[in-house]
């Protein structure tokens, strides 16, 4: 009986095309020169020497390829790489390095045959390679040794490895890294703790990953484990503080596993970088890279670790096929992050964080304009830098879409759906269309009520914020708002901050910000000493207020902040605000001039654009 049914069904399934069939095995990615429909890299072996005196990585990479269509050319992505030679079976071949595009870099075209299995490229990176930041000892916590780290997402891997730089392709890899003996090298794979101290480190990534998850860091580093699968890497002088701050890490991993399945990457460590790191965190497999600006002493900014950990499923296991599908990485991750936070710290705490983010999202959409095409979840980034897609839309609109689905489906049904989704697509890539198809077949079809409540197309292909945006309430914030109203009315009435966390302060500052005056800033600073505060999130909000009401007593601390912290989320808005104010512009230009050499290339690019008026 079963067989007959099978036979009858064949013709129908043949016509009921799944979106996967439409894209072929690999989706064409507008941000890569590679030709994966013809030929794919399945594995790479990297061998590099880190030369701190010339700020170069020098060495070679061997790519193992699968030629699917007897293609005669392997097309790779490169950015500012110096290609010394290309060899196939030990024989040099004539390659073509095409003229560079400002965003995409240069295509490296290598002639191959149907039988080509391996291609070796000898090359070196440029001293200003976009992914790499070479730090002087003064830019580190210990001040004694130089430091190097990479940031490959979105399309910067090509500035340190010639490869098919698209999230649509996954490969396994090994690497040998040579560095000065006194430094430790780490990469985004399970670490081998035995190989410390001889200047040569070997790495092996047994799981297939996309290029943007290739990462390397070299510095004076030490390790402290929480248990046999998680721990902290940091400069020795930072280690104890960082270890204390992230003490809930093992609990976060177990909570995540309870939600959406076993942690698949064997090991989960956090590497705390120097403060110039341009992001809060980066989900490099097995080894999240994190900014030290979340270390406050009171563990109040650890949701960032929950976020990067969540990427171990959403992003690293099930990966956005192109950067137009970026919300699949980030929206899912913010959603998952929030579920981890709720599990560990309770619903009231999570509500507070969610409401803060939703308020920001509403501001962002209002600023961008409700009809702005960039407020759609599914983006069209053709001809643009994929970095343009990084903002509240992918993250927060994406997250609230999933939250709306959760509310409509009920948590149990939704969690079962998500767990199955991750399980069935592990180590694969995903397009927006494929996700929507999966959602339709596995959830919506059997539950038409969900569709009545949540208009999926409106969320994904529509601009602005849909009617089904979840309503978030926070009892803690109700109290903060009362305190804020009292302060605005009478600036001598200071809030009672007993039990306040970073988030209470942020909500307080954001609520009073539009009403702030110089006098109110003086009163607040006298009471709370915000200008001196070491908490980067609160400091940032305070500095924005300081600019708005020309509160000069904060400017020295602000200048110091801009000279040490390179996290773009903080520094870009500060520069933007000051650059737009004629009375501050010459001063802020000076500060930028001196601080700029200490920033990573992705932050520099954004801030240069601010001063160029783009
Ligand atoms: N994967 C992102 C960082 C990223 C995205 C780098 C796109 C380059 C291009 C990472 O997971 C992230 O989202 N970091 C956030 C922190 C998070 C808590 C929202 C950040 O760095 O601010
Ligand atoms: Zn993220």
pLDDT in tens, 329-359: 999 999 999 999 999 999 999 999 999 999 9
Ligand 1 neighbours by CB, cut-off 6 Å: 153-154, 279-283, 304, 307-308, 311, 330, 390, 395, 569
Q: Which atom of ligand 1 is nearest to the CA of 326?
A: 7
CA–CA dist 242, 41 (Å, integer): 38
Query: How many beta carbons lie within 10 A of that of residue 89, not counting itself?
Result: 11
Q: Which atom of ligand 1 is nearest to the CA of 330?
A: 13
And the tokens for 349?
């705490």
Ligand closest to 326 (CA) is 1
Residues involved in catalysis: 308, 395
Residue 28 binned pLDDT confidence (cut-offs 50, 70, 90): confident
Q: Which atom of ligand 1 is nearest to the CA of 334?
A: 19
Residue 195 is predicted with a pLDDT of: 78
And the tokens for 120?
């070796």
DSSP-assigned states of every residue in 545-602: HHHHTT-GGGHHHHHHHHHH---HHHHHHHHHHHHT-TTTHHHHHHHHHHHGGGS-HH
Residue nearest to atom 1 of ligand 1 (CA): 282
Compute the average pLDDT of residues 111-139. 98
CA–CA dist 583, 553 (Å, integer): 16
Say which residues have a Cβ less than 8 Å from residue 335's Cβ, sequence separation at least 6: 398, 399, 402, 403, 406
> Order of strands, edge to edge, in the sheet holding 184-187?
132-135, 147-150, 216-219, 184-187
Residue 5 is predicted with a pLDDT of: 42
Residue 8 binned pLDDT confidence (cut-offs 50, 70, 90): very low
CA–CA dist 106, 113 (Å, integer): 22
| 136 pLDDT higher than 70 | yes
And the tokens for 482?
């009362």
Q: Which atom of ligand 1 is nearest to the CA of 311?
A: 11
Say which residues have a Cβ less than 8 Å from residue 531's Cβ, sequence separation at least 6: 525, 542, 546, 553, 554, 557
How far away, in angstroms, is 391 Cα from ligand 2 center? 10
Compute the average pLDDT of residues 100-114. 98
Residue nearest to atom 10 of ligand 1 (CA): 282
Residue 24 binned pLDDT confidence (cut-offs 50, 70, 90): low
Residue nearest to atom 18 of ligand 1 (CA): 304
Residue 331 is predicted with a pLDDT of: 98
Residue nearest to atom 17 of ligand 1 (CA): 304
Q: Are 578 and 547 in contact (CB under 8 A)?
A: yes
Q: Are 473 and 507 in contact (CB under 8 A)?
A: no
Instruction: Spell out where 184-241 has E strands.
Output: 184-187, 200-209, 216-219, 222-225, 230-234
Ligand closest to 600 (CA) is 1
Residue nearest to atom 11 of ligand 1 (CA): 282
Residue 57 binned pLDDT confidence (cut-offs 50, 70, 90): very high
Q: What is the largest CA-CA distance in the chain?
A: 83
How far away, in angstroms, is 237 Cα from ligand 2 center? 27
CA–CA dist 97, 95 (Å, integer): 7
Ligand closest to 154 (CA) is 1
Residue nearest to atom 20 of ligand 1 (CA): 280
**In whole angstroms, what separates CA 569 from the centre of its chain?**
12
Please name which of 131, 30, 231, 247 lies closest in space to residue 602, comparing C-alpha atoms: 131
How far away, in angstroms, is 190 Cα from ligand 1 center? 21
- In angstroms, what CA-CA distances link 98 with 81, 236, 338? 12, 44, 45
How far from each other are the two terminal CA atoms of the chain, in whole angstroms? 67
Please name which of 385, 382, 367, 389 lies closest in space to residue 609, comparing C-alpha atoms: 385
Residue 1 is predicted with a pLDDT of: 41
And the tokens for 215?
């990462």
How far away, in angstroms, is 424 Cα from ligand 2 center? 22
Compute the average pLDDT of residues 218-245. 98
Q: Which atom of ligand 1 is nearest to the CA of 279?
A: 21
Average pLDDT value over all residues in the chain: 95
Residue 27 binned pLDDT confidence (cut-offs 50, 70, 90): confident
- The whole-model pTM stands at 0.96
CA–CA dist 64, 74 (Å, integer): 11
Q: Which atom of ligand 1 is nearest to the CA of 283?
A: 11
Compute the average pLDDT of residues 49-64. 98
Which of 151, 280, 315, 340 to mutate to test ligand 1, by most ligand atoms within 8 A of the CB atom? 280
CA–CA dist 574, 522 (Å, integer): 20
Q: Are 190 and 57 in contact (CB under 8 A)?
A: no
Residue 144 is predicted with a pLDDT of: 98
| 380 pLDDT higher than 70 | yes
Say which residues have a Cβ less than 8 Å from residue 163's Cβ, sequence separation at least 6: 41, 44, 61, 63, 76, 77, 157, 211
**48-53-54-57 Cα dihedral, nearest 10 degrees:** 10
How far away, in angstroms, is 568 Cα from ligand 2 center? 14
Q: Are 574 and 592 in contact (CB under 8 A)?
A: no
Residue 2 is predicted with a pLDDT of: 40
Residue nearest to atom 8 of ligand 1 (CA): 153
Residue nearest to atom 6 of ligand 1 (CA): 153
Ligand closest to 332 (CA) is 2
Which of 215, 273, 282, 329 to mutate to test ligand 1, by most ligand atoms within 8 A of the CB atom? 282
Ligand closest to 294 (CA) is 1
Residue 209 is predicted with a pLDDT of: 98
> Order of strands, edge to edge, in the sheet holding 106-111?
73-78, 106-111, 96-97
For 280-330, the pLDDT digits (tens) are 999 999 999 999 999 999 999 999 999 999 999 999 999 999 999 999 999
| 382 pLDDT higher than 60 | yes
And the tokens for 332?
């899912």
How far away, in angstroms, is 350 Cα from ligand 1 center? 19
Residue 386 is predicted with a pLDDT of: 98
How far away, in angstroms, is 308 Cα from ligand 2 center? 6
For 448-498, the pLDDT digits (tens) are 999 999 999 999 999 999 999 999 999 999 999 999 999 999 999 999 999
Q: Which atom of ligand 1 is nearest to the CA of 307?
A: 18
Compute the average pLDDT of residues 568-574. 98
How far away, in angstroms, is 577 Cα from ligand 1 center? 22
Compute the average pLDDT of residues 364-387. 98
């Amino acid at each position: 009986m079963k067989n007959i049914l099978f036979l009858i069904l064949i013709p129908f399934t043949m016509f009921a095309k799944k979106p996967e069939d439409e894209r072929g095995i690999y989706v064409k990615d507008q941000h890569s020169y590679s030709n994966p429909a013809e030929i794919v890299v399945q594995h790479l072996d990297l061998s590099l020497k880190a030369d701190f005196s010339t700020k170069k990585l020098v060495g070679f990479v061997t790519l193992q390829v699968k030629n699917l269509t007897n293609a005669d050319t392997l097309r790779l992505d490169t950015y500012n790489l110096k290609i010394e030679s290309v060899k196939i079976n030990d024989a040099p071949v004539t390659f073509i390095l095409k003229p560079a595009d400002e965003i995409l870099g240069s295509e490296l075209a290598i002639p191959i045959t149907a039988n080509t299995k391996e291609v070796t490229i000898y090359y070196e990176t440029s001293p200003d390679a976009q992914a790499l930041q070479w730090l002087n000892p003064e830019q580190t916590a210990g001040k004694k040794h130089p430091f190097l780290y990479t940031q490959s997402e979105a399309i910067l891997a090509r500035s340190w490895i010639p490869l098919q730089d698209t999230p649509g392709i996954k490969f396994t890899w090994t690497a040998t890294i040579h560095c000065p003996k006194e430094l430790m090298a780490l990469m985004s794979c399970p670490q081998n703790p035995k190989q410390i101290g001889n200047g040569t480190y070997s790495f092996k990534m047994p799981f297939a990953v996309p290029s943007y998850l290739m990462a390397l860091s070299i510095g004076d580093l030490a390790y402290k484990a929480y248990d046999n699968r998680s721990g902290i890497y940091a400069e020795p002088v930072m280690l104890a503080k960082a270890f204390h701050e992230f003490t809930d890490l093992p609990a976060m991993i177990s909570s995540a596993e309870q939600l959406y399945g076993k942690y698949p990457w064997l090991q989960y460590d956090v590497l705390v970088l120097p403060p110039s790191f341009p992001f809060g965190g980066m989900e490099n497999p097995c080894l999240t890279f994190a900014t030290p600006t979340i270390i406050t002493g009171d563990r109040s900014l650890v949701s960032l670790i929950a976020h990067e950990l969540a990427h171990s499923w959403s992003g690293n296991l099930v990966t956005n096929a192109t950067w137009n599908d970026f919300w699949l990485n980030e929206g899912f991750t913010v959603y998952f992050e929030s579920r981890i936070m709720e599990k560990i710290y309770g619903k009231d705490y999570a509500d507070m964080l969610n409401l803060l983010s939703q308020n920001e999202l509403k501001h962002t959409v209002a600023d961008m304009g409700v009809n702005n095409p960039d407020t759609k979840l599914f983006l069209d980034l053709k001809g643009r830098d994929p970095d343009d897609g990084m903002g509240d839309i992918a993250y927060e609109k994406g997250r609230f879409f999933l939250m709306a689905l959760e509310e409509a489906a009920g948590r149990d049904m939704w969690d079962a759906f998500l767990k199955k989704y991750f399980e069935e697509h592990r180590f694969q890539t995903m397009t927006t269309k494929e996700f929507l198809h999966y959602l339709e077949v596995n959830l919506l079809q059997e539950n038409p009520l969900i569709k009545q409540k949540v208009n999926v197309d409106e969320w994904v292909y529509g601009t602005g914020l849909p009617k089904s945006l979840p309503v978030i309430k926070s009892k803690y914030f109700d109290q903060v708002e009362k305190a804020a109203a009292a302060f605005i009315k009478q600036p001598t009435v200071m809030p009672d901050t007993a039990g306040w966390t970073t988030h209470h302060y942020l909500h307080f500052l954001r609520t009073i910000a539009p009403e702030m005056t110089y006098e109110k800033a003086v009163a607040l600073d006298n009471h709370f000493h915000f200008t001196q505060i070491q908490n980067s999130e609160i400091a940032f909000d305070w500095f924005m207020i300081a600019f708005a009401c020309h509160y000069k007593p904060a400017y020295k601390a602000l200048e110091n902040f801009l000279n040490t912290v390179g996290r773009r989320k903080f520094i870009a808005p500060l520069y933007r605000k000051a650059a737009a104010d004629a009375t501050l512009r010459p001063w802020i230009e000076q500060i930028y001039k001196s601080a700029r050499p200490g920033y990573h290339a992705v932050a520099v690019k954004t801030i240069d654009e601010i001063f160029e008026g783009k």
